């Protein structure tokens, strides 16, 4: 099923979709980076309060880990596309 769809689309359409996916990934990277900074700041605030419990600190750290997971998956996809495109360019030039 997917092979039939992939064969019917032109290269121009694939490049356009790839461009849109990259733009979305860069927005996710920017948003995740900002959220990591804000959540890390909040972890410091929660940990500095003398009335905070271990559960509050754990919840704050989980939000930082969530942001790091989004950031790492987005960066992995960007690097995968980069090296795949680089390999295609190298094969065409040889």
pLDDT of residue 30 exceeding 90, the answer is yes
Burial of 86 (C-beta count, 10 Å sphere; 0-12/13-18/19+)? exposed
The answer as to whether 38 is a domain residue is: yes
The answer as to whether 6 is a domain residue is: no
User: What pLDDT sits at residue 62?
Assistant: 94
The answer as to whether 40 is a domain residue is: yes
The answer as to whether 2 is a domain residue is: no
Domain housing 48: 11-93
Residue 67, Cβ neighbours under 10 Å: how many?
Answer: 20
- Provide the 8-state DSSP code for 10: -
For residues 22 and 30, what is the distance between their CA atoms, to the nearest angstrom? 12
Q: What is the mean pLDDT of residues 2-28?
A: 77
DSSP 45-57: HHHH-TT--HHHH
Query: Residue 18: CB partners within 8 Å, gap ≥ 6?
Result: 81
pLDDT of residue 6 exceeding 60, the answer is no
Q: Is the pTM higher than 0.75?
A: no
Number of structural domains (the chain) is 1
Q: What is the mean pLDDT of residues 12-39?
A: 88
The answer as to whether 79 is a domain residue is: yes
The answer as to whether 4 is a domain residue is: no
pLDDT of residue 1 exceeding 60, the answer is no
Q: Is 42 helix (H, G, I), strand (E, B) or coil?
A: helix
- Provide the 8-state DSSP code for 48: H
The answer as to whether 3 is a domain residue is: no
């Amino acid at each position: 099923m997917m092979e039939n769809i992939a064969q019917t689309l032109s290269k121009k359409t694939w490049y356009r979709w790839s461009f849109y996916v990259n733009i979305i990934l860069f927005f996710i990277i920017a948003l995740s980076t900002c959220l990591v900074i804000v959540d890390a700041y909040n972890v410091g605030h929660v940990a500095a309060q003398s009335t905070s419990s271990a559960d509050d600190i754990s919840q704050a750290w989980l939000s930082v880990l969530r942001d790091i997971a989004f950031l790492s998956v987005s960066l992995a996809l960007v690097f995968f596309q980069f090296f795949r495109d680089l390999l295609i360019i190298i094969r065409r030039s040889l």
